[in-house]
Amino acid sequence: MEKSTNNPLAGARLAFIGCGVMAEALIAGLLRKQLVTAEQIVGSHPRTARREELYTKYATRMFASNREAVLEAHPNGADGSPRAGSLVILAVKPQRLTKVLHELKGSLHPEQLVVSIVAGARCEAIAGELLHPSVVRAMPNTPAQIGQGMTAWTATPEVNEFQQNEVAAMFAALGEAMRVENERQIDMATALSATGPTYVFLMMEALVDAGVHMGFSRHVAQDLVEQMMLGSVLFARESQKHPAELRNMVTSPGGTSAEAIYQMEKGGLRTVLSKAVWAAYQRAEALGGKKSNE
Ligand SMILES: NC(=O)c1ccc[n+]([C@@H]2O[C@H](COP(=O)([O-])OP(=O)(O)OC[C@H]3O[C@@H](n4cnc5c(N)ncnc54)[C@H](OP(=O)(O)O)[C@@H]3O)[C@@H](O)[C@H]2O)c1
């Protein structure tokens, strides 16, 4: 790989702790976009079969021990570059996190940056458990698995500018990434962009069912709905018009859209969506263990 000086991850070392679906999406995206080489990545996983699978697919070195993976990714190791950073990405399920943090305590190099994508795990809790202040907390979503994700992330004050650039570059490998101001906004993004695919899939399912109800075969209804949703989003993005304006453009007097809108408003669709997002936000806060007022 040609190392670009504009690539903040050039020469960096990355350790993925818990190589499941999300870690693999990140590894695949980083390699596909040539932001890092396989030699820069190590991973850990408790199962031999999974370690072998990832080594075969990506040629990344895999360890059974989480601690060993972190030590392997210490900065200024084999690479020797003084500017190269080192990122430790926590990608285990929330219920495994406490055990993993206990294991990693004392193994981190002061210059290593901890990046957690674990839902609900607060920076303060991770930093406190690891005795390591540089922590980034991020919330990706499922389309990240095909490089079309939306990731919101925030950092503790100890994370320097160089490390922030590394994080932004890493999450760009999953699609779009946005730095938010604080963890309250991570909870808000959890409700909106991370839980969001659920809202879309439910609407997609309901529309396909409605197509079947009218008499379309399921696969025809699915094709019609999928392309309609994709095209509508791309159109909204490209036109840069307010959604209400776009909706008005297709609502002719006495027409089909007017009739459909009347029924959606009568059924409270707008209110239901708003309540769903608010409920998800409150749940995100509760799962984090406390209200975040940062
Ligand atoms: N998937 C998403 O769209 C998404 C979105 C936002 C945030 N997240 C967050 O991202 C994290 C990872 O999610 P995921 O979907 O990638 O989950 P996942 O596929 O279950 O990945 C977690 C991996 O960690 C492994 N593991 C279990 N115990 C471990 C240990 N002690 N040490 C190291 N690895 C261990 C698991 O192995 P086994 O398979 O053997 O259990 C599994 O392969 C979660 O905290 C989730 O909240 C995910």
Mean residue pLDDT of the chain comes to 93
Sign of the alpha-carbon dihedral angle for 254, 258, 262, 263:
positive
* Residue 4 confidence class, pLDDT cut points 50, 70, 90: very low
> Is the four-CA dihedral 227, 233, 235, 237 of positive or negative sign?
negative
Residue 197 pLDDT > 60: yes
Return the pLDDT at 256.
96
Q: Is 46 in the pocket of ligand 1 (CB under 6 A)?
A: yes
Of the candidate ranges 165-174, 198-207, 241-250, 285-294, the one whose mean pLDDT is the lowest: 285-294
pLDDT score of 294 more than 70: no
- What's the mean pLDDT in 156-177? 95
* 133-166 confidence digits (pLDDT tens): 999 999 999 999 999 999 999 999 999 999 999 9
Does 119 contact ligand 1 (Cβ within 6 A)? yes
How confident is the model over 1-6, as a mean pLDDT? 52
Ligand 1 neighbour 198 (Cβ under 6 A): no
Task: Give yes or no for residue 66 CB within 6 A of ligand 1.
Answer: yes
pLDDT bracket for residue 290 (50, 70, 90): low
d(CA 135, CA 88) in angstroms, rounded, equals: 10
Q: Which residue's CA lies nearest to atom 34 of ligand 1?
A: 18
Confidence at residue 292, expressed as pLDDT on a 0 to 100 scale: 43
Mean pLDDT of 2-19: 84
pLDDT tens for residues 113-125?
999 999 999 999 9
Given a cut of 80, whether residue 79 has pLDDT beyond it is no
How many whole angstroms from 287 Cα to the centroid of ligand 1? 17
Beta carbon of 67 within 6 Å of any ligand 1 atom: no
In the chain, what percentage of residues exceed pLDDT 70?
94
* Of 15-19, 84-88, 147-151, minimum mean pLDDT range: 84-88
User: In testing the pocket of ligand 1, which one of 17, 22, 88, 153 has its CB within 8 Å of the most ligand atoms?
Assistant: 22
Per-residue confidence band for 227, with pLDDT thresholds at 50, 70 and 90: very high
Q: How many CB atoms lie within 10 A of CB 262?
A: 10
In percent, how much of the chain has pLDDT > 90?
Answer: 90
The finding on whether 22 has its CB within 6 A of some atom of ligand 1 is yes
* pLDDT exceeds cutoff 70 at 255: yes
Q: Is 194 in the pocket of ligand 1 (CB under 6 A)?
A: yes
pLDDT at 45 over 90: yes
pTM, two decimals, is 0.91
- Has residue 55 got a pLDDT over 70? yes
The yes-or-no verdict on residue 242 having pLDDT over 70 is yes
* Nearest-angstrom CA–CA distance, 210 and 216: 9
**Predicted confidence (pLDDT) at residue 3 exceeds the cutoff of 90:** no
